[in-house]
Amino acid sequence: MGKPKGFLEYFRELPADRSARERLGDWDEFHLHHDEARNREQGARCMDCGVPFCHTGLTIAAMASGCPIYNLIPEWNELVYRGLWQRALERLHKTNNFPEFTGRVCPAPCEGACVLGIIEPPVTIKVIEQAIIDRGFAEGWVVPQPPIGRSGKRVAVVGSGPAGLACAAQLNKAWHEVTVFERDDRIGGLLTYGIPNMKLDKGIVQRRVDLMAAEGVGFETNVEVGKTLSTSQLLSDYDAVVLCCGATKPRDLQIEGREARGIHFAMDFLRHNQQRLLNRTPLKLSAQGKDVVIIGGGDTGTDCLATAIRQGCKSITQLEIMPRPPQERSRDNPWPQWPKVFKVDYGQEEAIAKFGRDPRQFLVTAEKFIPHSHGAVKEIQIHDITWEEAPRGMTPKKVRGSERRIPADLVLLAMGFIGPEEAVLNGLNVERDDRSNVKADFDRYNTNVPGLFAAGDIRRGQSLIVWAINEGRGAAREVDRFLMGETALP
């Protein structure tokens, strides 16, 4: 602990964001940054809490609590307070391959488990993490570190999201020759095509990819394993194969009128927009001039919200089947659980600035899509619900007489994902769990197919970027052990 009474002397302060009205005119990142003095003050708030729950990743009540990649948070908070930024960067990189990603888009379960958060607002862990890595790049401290030799073993990693990149980076450090296969035209997976530019600038993703390439990691784009190249062929050509291709099969909403045109999955919408920005291609799927309805209240729904407003939508509504969260922790949501409290995220903030209201409707579900005579969606019939006890848990019940229609020229389904796509597993007798994910032990990551490993969302289901990095690192450790009989990877 750098300053014993720092948490008594300084209040939690977040850097300001660019104003909502200003940032709606571009696709640039909207977060601003503290200066060094302010970051040091915020680092001083880290207290000598005895047991730092922030850096021990747990799952409590089916939610992440603390950091799943075990970041040494109290250590680099103290180093930042003392002005020892390069040493702070060294500590940060010991556990996190990509702090420039997590510092921007991780929901920060570490802050939800911060001990100071019991009595005061928690330490600004995520802000400090981003400040450390951004300074590291600015000062030239982050440079390629290729291995000094090679093991003679070859590993194929399928998927270039955070799990695949973390796995590849670690295996490369262990001297193995690694090739990452990606079906898109750019490396990064959802980091590139799933997260909007205003949350994570794609130049930051490419900077890390270029660094890994300089360290000897190979990248193959426009290769869809399971279609243009079989997984069986990879198993024949490589000493080990790691599946890190996510759980990208979207949850659908099969209600009356689903066949109407103008109803799309959220990721298709976000992907088209990002391709337009990166490749300067025409926008095939646009919200311009349309009444947009987003079904789903999570981060992906918020990203669709912000994207649709920037495209020039006529109106926007976001439907959420869950109740409005409370302003403060409820009695059944105690620390160190993730705090389920009401917040206005960046997308809702922008909608309020543009249209004068929060676009969310809580405890609402869609009943049917109503098309025009020419087949395109025109309206959605919705109704209110209540949640009631049932033999298998809580279940939604329709509120009679609450039916109403809202205009909808474009409907975006942002209700999460239900498992991996099937193509990559074609021809393999890979065991699956009861959620259709690839079955692989958490501490071993090996499937029932010899030499085939799985990590990230394809193994655990839809989850957080920090869990993906955790799994990629863990899978790399076990692949190294499989290839060499032992491992020194953390």
Question: pLDDT digits over 444-468, tens only?
Answer: 999 999 999 999 999 999 999 999 9
C-alpha 384/C-alpha 374 separation (Å) is 29
Neighbouring-strand partners of residue 59? 64
Instruction: Give residue 1's pLDDT.
Output: 65
Which phi and psi angles does 346 have, rounded to 5°?
A: -60, -40
C-alpha 277/C-alpha 273 separation (Å) is 6
Q: Which two tokens stand for residue 301?
A: 């729904």
C-alpha 420/C-alpha 459 separation (Å) is 9
C-alpha 335/C-alpha 332 separation (Å) is 10
Instruction: Give residue 392's pLDDT.
Output: 82
Q: Model confidence over 393-451: pLDDT tens digits?
A: 889 999 999 999 999 999 999 999 999 988 888 878 899 998 899 999 888 999 999 99
Q: Model confidence over 219-239: pLDDT tens digits?
A: 999 999 999 999 999 999 999
Whole-prediction pTM? 0.95
Instruction: Give residue 283's pLDDT.
Output: 87
Q: On the CB side of 404, how many CA atoms lie within 13 Å of its CA?
A: 8
Percentage of the residues of the chain whose pLDDT score is greater than 70: 100
The stretches in the chain having pLDDT less than 70 are 1
Domains of the chain: 6-138 (1.10.1060.10), 154-248+418-484 (3.50.50.60), 252-415 (3.50.50.60)
Asked whether 122 and 53 are in contact (CB, 8 A), the reply is: no
Q: Are strands 177-181 and 154-158 parallel, antiparallel or unpaired?
A: parallel
